[in-house]
């Protein structure tokens, strides 16, 4: 079986867009409405020579308002349980939100390699957000544009040690 890479983050950062790009099919539903993807989606992903199972954890978004307790914690833990790596996605245009910090704090307690991904970084609108993401304490973010397919080489470099 392929190693599993879990895509995590608050609603609307572009998790499903990244998932679709990696899996190459329109499996996950992309929408402007936060929380629109109801289920956890899994698909076989390729990134250059890397092959892995990508998991879009969007089903967790319903529970975001309940903080990282209860149902969300259980579902995320289940998704992370056998993951080779997790991608914590932030929106570099929006900058960090309290919910991003919440996710980061909680993920810090999980024993899974974590790669910070700053999405929506096409052009220069995301530059300050990429810098701000440093504050989360996961090192330099991998800047990508899931929508435009930019930064996939850097994402490959970040993932290669784990998959």
Q: Which residues bind Mg ion (CB under 5 A)?
A: 15-16, 37, 58
- Which of 22, 55, 56, 58 minimizes the C-alpha distance to 37? 58
Report the residue closest to Mg ion, judged by CB: 16
For residue 30 the two structure tokens come to 């992309």
Binding letters toward ligand GDP, positions 58-97, x by CB under 6 A: x---------------------------------------
Instruction: For the chain, report the end-to-end CA distance as a whole number of angstroms.
Output: 11
**Min. distance of Cβ 33 from ligand GDP in angstroms?**
8
**In this complex, which beta carbon is closest to Mg ion, that of residue 32 or of residue 49?**
32
**Min. distance of Cβ 145 from ligand GDP in angstroms?**
4
- Per partner kind, with CB cut-offs from 5 to 8 A, the member of ligand GDP, Mg ion, none near residue 110 is none
Characterise 10 by phi-psi region: left (phi > 0), alpha (psi -120 to 50), beta (else): beta
**In this complex, which beta carbon is closest to ligand GDP, that of residue 32 or of residue 49?**
32
**Min. distance of Cβ 143 from ligand GDP in angstroms?**
10
Q: Which residues bind ligand GDP (CB under 6 A)?
A: 9, 11-17, 30-32, 37, 58, 119-120, 122, 145-148
Q: Which residues are annotated as a binding site for GTP?
A: 9-16, 56-60, 119-122
């Amino acid at each position: 079986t392929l190693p599993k890479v879990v895509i995590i983050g608050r609603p609307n950062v572009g998790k499903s867009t990244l998932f679709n790009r990696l899996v190459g099919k329109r499996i996950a539903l992309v929408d402007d409405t936060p929380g629109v993807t109801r289920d956890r989606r899994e698909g076989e992903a390729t990134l250059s020579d890397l092959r892995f199972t990508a998991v879009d954890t969007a089903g967790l978004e319903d529970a975001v308002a309940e903080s990282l307790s209860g149902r969300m914690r259980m579902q995320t833990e289940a998704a992370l349980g056998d993951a080779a790596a997790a991608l914590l996605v932030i929106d570099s245009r929006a900058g960090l939100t309290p919910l991003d910090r919440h996710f980061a704090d909680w993920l810090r307690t999980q024993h899974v390699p974590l790669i910070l991904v700053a999405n929506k970084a096409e052009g220069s609108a995301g530059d300050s957000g990429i810098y701000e993401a440093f504050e989360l304490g996961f090192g330099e973010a991998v800047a990508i544009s899931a929508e435009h397919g930019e930064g996939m080489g850097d994402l490959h470099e970040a993932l290669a040690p784990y998959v």
